[in-house]
Amino acid sequence: MTSSFSTVTSYENQTKRSINNRFIQRFMTDLIRERLDIWFIEHREQALRAADQVLLNRRSREKAEKTRLAVKRDLMQQIDVSNRVKMFVDCRTQDMTRREIYIVEGNSALGSVKMARDSEFQAVIPVRGKILNCLKADYNTIFKNEIIMDLIKILGCGVDLPKKYSKAAPPFDIGRLRWNKVIICTDADVDGFQIRTLILAMFYKLTPELIRQQKIFIAESPLFEISHQVKRLESTYFAYSDQEKNRLVESLEEGRIHVQRSKGLGENEPGMMWNTTMNPETRRLIAVMPEDEETMRDTFNLLLGDDIPGRRACIEKTGHLYMEMLDVG
């Protein structure tokens, strides 16, 4: 504990967190150096441990700074031949009012979507399995996740971080967004729904303004393919829920009806993918609409956060509605 007195005091800034009076600085420096010299001589072992800890802290700071600069550099640079994101397939147009990016589930879905898309304005990138739950991960862990970093790099608009972490990445700027629509496209099963929710949680934590600006969409993929044959005429219909399937089957005339449940986007024919999921004239897109901040926070916390009692109660109340989607075989 030390104390000092000076009739001339000047502060570093308006918050007065530190004094920058050079006389006090000189006095305190000399005093601390003198006392430390004595302590190092009298307590050699403790002094060596303290020195090791100082060096360890310095290396940690230097490593953190290198990581911060690397993250910022990766997110700021333009995507070109030299730094292409693995498995990312771009579109041709540079008209930002037309460009769409499909985030799909796995490499098998990538193949179907890649063949089905209109390569003029539709790009695609796969995510490999269930991505990191950003709601429960700290920012350092998020910035080390390759899949999330690739997605943010492709978006091009940076991330919206608290001030504490703002130096770790370029600031969010929606004017730099490279897409008119960001479309999440996963299988119509429980695993696909969870991946969809994890991706939405990533947007909520890192780029919430994209939700507020209604740039995020969900592509509905059909759950059933229904073939209807009357004599030699055969028609094909698609249903996106069990209720829609039942209504459609009941409305069909007599004849041969075959109902096939979707096996996943990777099993779909390109023509089917285009008509049901990618054609702007016939696809079904769900716009992710912003709620008030409190509702969004509570909802994500219920689904993926720390509200475990609330999540358990929600499953008990509504879980029966989704039992038919579980593969119990």
Question: Taken in order 177, 178, 183, 185, is the CA torsion positive or negative?
Answer: negative
Decide if pLDDT at 16 tops 90.
no
- Name the amino acid, one letter, at 219: A
Mean pLDDT of 129-157: 88
Considering the domain boundaries, does residue 180 fall inside one? yes
DSSP 68-115: HHHHHHHHHSPP-GGGPPTT-B--S---TTT-EEEEEEHHHHHHHHHH
Decide if pLDDT at 23 tops 80.
no
Q: Quick one: pLDDT band at residue 165, thresholds 50, 70, 90?
A: low
Considering the domain boundaries, does residue 15 fall inside one? no
Q: Are residues 208 and 237 in the same domain?
A: no
Decide if pLDDT at 47 tops 60.
yes
Decide if pLDDT at 5 tops 80.
no
- DSSP state for residue 325 in the 8-state scheme: G
pLDDT digits (tens, 9 = 90+) for 232-279: 788 888 888 888 888 988 888 778 888 888 777 888 888 888 988 999
Ranking 37-51, 53-67, 88-102 by mean pLDDT, the lowest is 53-67
Q: Are residues 235 and 176 in the same domain?
A: no
More confident residue, 198 or 169: 198
Decide if pLDDT at 2 tops 80.
no
Distances in Å between the Cα of 170 and the Cα atoms of 64, 138, 270 are 16, 17, 38
Helix (H, G, I), strand (E, B) or coil at 225: strand
Considering the domain boundaries, does residue 125 fall inside one? yes
More confident residue, 82 or 174: 174
Q: Are residues 118 and 169 in the same domain?
A: yes
Decide if pLDDT at 15 tops 60.
no
Q: Are residues 192 and 120 in the same domain?
A: yes
Q: Quick one: pLDDT band at residue 82, thresholds 50, 70, 90?
A: very low
Average pLDDT of the chain?
A: 82
Q: Are residues 114 and 159 in the same domain?
A: yes
Considering the domain boundaries, does residue 80 fall inside one? yes
Cβ neighbours, 10 Å, residue 157:
22
Considering the domain boundaries, does residue 233 fall inside one? yes
Decide if pLDDT at 111 tops 90.
no
- Number of compact structural domains in the chain: 2
Helix (H, G, I), strand (E, B) or coil at 184: strand
Closest alpha carbon to 221 in 299, 105, 302, 125: 105
Decide if pLDDT at 74 tops 70.
no
Decide if pLDDT at 179 tops 50.
yes
Q: Are residues 86 and 203 in the same domain?
A: yes
Those residues whose C-beta lies under 8 Å from the C-beta of residue 144, and which sit 6 or more positions away, are: none
CA 265, CA 277: separation in Å to the nearest integer? 10
Cβ neighbours, 10 Å, residue 47:
14
Q: Are residues 208 and 79 in the same domain?
A: yes
CA 262, CA 131: separation in Å to the nearest integer? 23
Give pLDDT, residue 81: 39
Q: Are residues 120 and 212 in the same domain?
A: yes
Ranking 44-53, 121-130, 162-171, 221-230 by mean pLDDT, the lowest is 162-171
Q: Are residues 98 and 209 in the same domain?
A: yes
Considering the domain boundaries, does residue 239 fall inside one? yes
Q: Are residues 176 and 188 in the same domain?
A: yes
Q: Pairing between strand 224-230 and 233-239?
A: antiparallel
Considering the domain boundaries, does residue 61 fall inside one? no
Decide if pLDDT at 75 tops 70.
no
Mean pLDDT of 183-211: 91
Closest alpha carbon to 222 in 181, 182, 260: 260
Query: What CATH number has the domain bearing residue 161?
Result: 3.40.50.670
Supply the range of the domain harboring residue 245: 224-261
Q: Are residues 177 and 254 in the same domain?
A: no
Distances in Å between the Cα of 174 and the Cα atoms of 65, 71, 85, 209 are 26, 19, 21, 8
Considering the domain boundaries, does residue 119 fall inside one? yes
Decide if pLDDT at 174 tops 60.
yes
Give pLDDT, residue 328: 42
Q: Are residues 193 and 252 in the same domain?
A: no
